[in-house]
Each structure stands twice: as C-alpha cells, then as structure tokens.
Structure 1
Amino acid sequence: MGEPVTAEIQQIANASIKDEYQRANLVNDITKEVESLKPLSSPECCIYKVPDPLRKLNEEAYTPQVISIGPFHHGDEKLQIMEKYKVRYLKEFTEQVKINLENLVCTIEDSEESICQCYAEVIPLSRYDFLKMILMDANFIVELFVRNWRGRSEWTHDDRKVLKPWLVARMLLDFMLLENQLPFFIIEKLFKLAFASRRDLPSFTELTFRYFEFYNIQHFSPNIRHSTSSLTC
C-alpha cells in the first residue's frame, strides 16, 4: 500500500516543481519586458502619423502628392521624380557654398539620435537609408527656401523647366502635411553650417516664413511680407 502513495506524492511534488519553474520563468519574462519598457514618446517627439480611422475618411488629404519629406512616405513610387531633383539640388548646393559633403553627413550623424526621437513611430528605414534621406530632404528644403527668398528671377533653367506653378503650389501643401516632416533643428543646423559666413541671407526661420507667406496671417518684420509657421517642428 505504501508504494502507490509514494508515487502519487512524487507526482504531486514534480507538478509543484514544474509549476514553480514556469512561474519563475513567467515572472522573469514579465520583469524583463517591464524593465525594457520605453516611454510612449520622448519629450522631443513632434512628428506623428495620422490615425487610421481618420486617414480612411480621406486618404489623399494626408498623403503627399508630389514630394516626400521624412521617413514615413520615403520610397513611394509615385514621388520618385522629385527624388531625382533632390540629388540635383544637393550637387548644386555643395558646389555653390563650397561645403564638403562629408561635413554634412557628419552633422547629421551627430544628431541622429535626436532626429529619431522626434518621430512617434518606428522609422521604417535602415540607418544608412535614414541618414541619406535626412541629408537629401534637409538639403532640398534649405536650397529651395534660399532660392525662393532670392526670387524666381534667379531660378535656374532646370527650375523653370521642372517647377511648374501647379507643382510649386502642390509641393507647398505637401510640406505642411503632418506625416511629411523633418525636425526643424536639423534643417536649421545644415543651413547655419553652409551659410555661417554669409551676411546677405536672413535666418532660416525668416526664410521659412517667406516660403509660406501665402498662408500667413501674422507680420514677422518690416522687411518681410506676411508669412506662416514653419513646415517642421
């Protein structure tokens, strides 16, 4: 009679040990998950994606139509024409301001973590593609805003050929889309790096106000016509 009782006790003991082991693993896994938990967003976070229910009401209203800025719509096949134009602007920019491309890349690398923290969503790009995208997009905005300040009389032949009035108007709207943004600080940093010694240009904030002057309802300074807030945070 003693043996069956002993076997039954042993089974109970084994089950108890198994339960304790599983419990310990469960506690350990949950502890790791809790400890690795990151804040929902950093204090610097300022660029978000439109919630799906809102987007579904009018997809086009929240999607860039001619140019992508930032990571969320990067690589969209419908926007590739302007991607080529960004490369052209980078070439002309580096030649005109006599700046080393490596210096531009290093500036972005130094700010990479701060740039990433500005985005509320996971960035769907490799580090290599992300840095390249930031450089291309930030440079394009700087060069475009500078050319806009100087006036269309100083546009290049290619500008007049590519930047038709309808495209310019639509591009301005694309720049204001919630998902189509770069952090303002990195664009401003590249601008200062390139034009630090230039006295013929205003601040990048003023250039931004000028670019959006059509939508502005406030007066920035006596020397600047009505303008608007910047396209980036």
Structure 2
Amino acid sequence: MDDKNTRIDIDQLASTLRGKLLQRSPLPAQCCIFRVPSTLRRHNQTVFAPRLVSIGPLHHGVKNLQAMEKLKLWYLDCLLARAPTIQTSLECFIEAIRGTVERISECYEEVELSTDEMVEMMVLDSCFIIELFRKHAIIVQPHVDDPIFKTSWMRKDLLNDLLLLENQLPWFVLERLFNLTNADPDPK
C-alpha cells in the first residue's frame, strides 16, 4: 500500500470520526433520572423494573404495564371533573407542561418521545400521582370501585413501583400541576 492510499484512508477515517464528535455533553447537567447500570441489573433484572405502573418515559409503552394506563385516565378525569375551572382544564395542564418539554427531556438519560407524547405522558402521570396522594391522604375521597384502594396488594406493588429509580418524574412537573390543581394554595 502506498503513502497516498494510506493518507486517503486516514483522512476518510478522520472525517468520519469528526462527524460523530459531540459539541455538548451527552448528559446535560440537569440529568437526574437515570437507568440503573447493567452492573447492578445483572444480579436481578426484575428488581429495577416496574410491575404495575409506568411513570415517566423510561418504561413508557411496556406491554405488561398497559392496564394501569386506563386507571391513569380515570384518575385524570376524576381530577378534572371535581372542581372544573379555567386553571384546572386539560388545556391549561397541557400548556403548563408544553413549554417545559426540553427541560423535562434534559432530566432523563434518554428519551425517544415526540413533544406531544411527552406532554401527554407528563400530564397523565403527574395527575395520576397527585390524585393518588390526595386519595391516600383522604383529601379526596377514593371511589368505592377504585381498585387501588380495594386491594392491599395493588397499593403495595404501586408504592414499590413509585419508588423505583427509573420510574420517576421531574419534581418541577409535579409541583407545577399540583399548584394548578390545589384547591387551597395557602394552607394554614
């Protein structure tokens, strides 16, 4: 092989590699919700995966968690119907979250959702958690047919899922929607 061909190969490889270089860190400083490292996962995969409910984008769309999506929709409907105001409309929730999608995405190690998918998931998951906590604290009376409050195993599995590292929402999202839905914003 002559020096000219070697030079072309080096230049091509350098050009290819240069095209792959990143101008910014692959993990923004705001990244705070990560996947569990494979070194921990290898001992027991199931310990780190939700069994009942997916919260946030890292397990979004997992087939065995789809049954809870209907319950999330019911909880959102309950929240919207309880005290409808301009501030507690679905449109207001969507608007409050839509402007923060980039900030939300930066909180996660990896996200492969469109803006609309991210907004829908954040509104649905956040309102589910807010409504669940209000029902648990009996700020809102649970419905007699609510499966979470009718079966103790469901509450236990749900609590475990909500504590998983990969099954989290950014705090500012929960706070923003909580403040919009708080009937008494200045409790004493």
User: So what's the TM-score if we normalise by structure 2?
Assistant: 0.84
Match of 2:115 among 127, 136, 139: 127
Q: Deviations over 1:31-78 (max 9, x none)?
A: 3333x3431421111111112232121122111111111111112222
Once residues 148 and 56 of structure 1 are traced to their aligned partners in structure 2, the CA distance between those partners, rounded to angstroms, is: 35
Once residues 172 and 54 of structure 2 are traced to their aligned partners in structure 1, the CA distance between those partners, rounded to angstroms, is: 19
5+ residue gaps in structure 1? 1-11, 203-233
* CA distance 1:49–1:187, change in 2 (3 Å): same
Higher relative contact order (CA 8 A, sep 6+): 2
User: So what's the TM-score if we normalise by structure 1?
Assistant: 0.69
In structure 2, the partner of 1:166 is 153
4+ residue segments displaced more than 6 Å: none
Match of 2:134 among 146, 162, 176: 146
- The alpha carbon displacement at 1:148 in A equals 1.8
Q: Deviations over 1:153-193 (max 9, x none)?
A: x211222x443111111111111101111111101111112
- The alpha carbon displacement at 1:125 in A equals 2.9
Once residues 132 and 41 of structure 1 are traced to their aligned partners in structure 2, the CA distance between those partners, rounded to angstroms, is: 24
Q: Percentage identity across aligned positions?
A: 32
Once residues 129 and 200 of structure 1 are traced to their aligned partners in structure 2, the CA distance between those partners, rounded to angstroms, is: 33
In structure 1, the partner of 2:76 is 90
Task: Look up the equivalent residue of 1:39 and give its one-letter code.
Answer: S
Say whether residues 1:113 and 2:113 are aligned partners: no
Say whether residues 1:44 and 2:11 are aligned partners: no
5+ residue gaps in structure 2? none
Q: What SS does the aligned partner of 1:158 have?
A: coil
In structure 2, the partner of 1:224 is none
Higher helix proportion (structure 1 or 2): 1
Equivalent residues, number: 183
Once residues 104 and 53 of structure 1 are traced to their aligned partners in structure 2, the CA distance between those partners, rounded to angstroms, is: 39
Once residues 29 and 36 of structure 2 are traced to their aligned partners in structure 1, the CA distance between those partners, rounded to angstroms, is: 19
* CA distance 1:194–1:24, change in 2 (3 Å): same
5 Å-filtered alignment, 1:170-185, equals 170-185=157-172
5 Å-filtered alignment, 1:203-218, equals none
> Aligned-pair RMSD on alpha carbons?
2.4
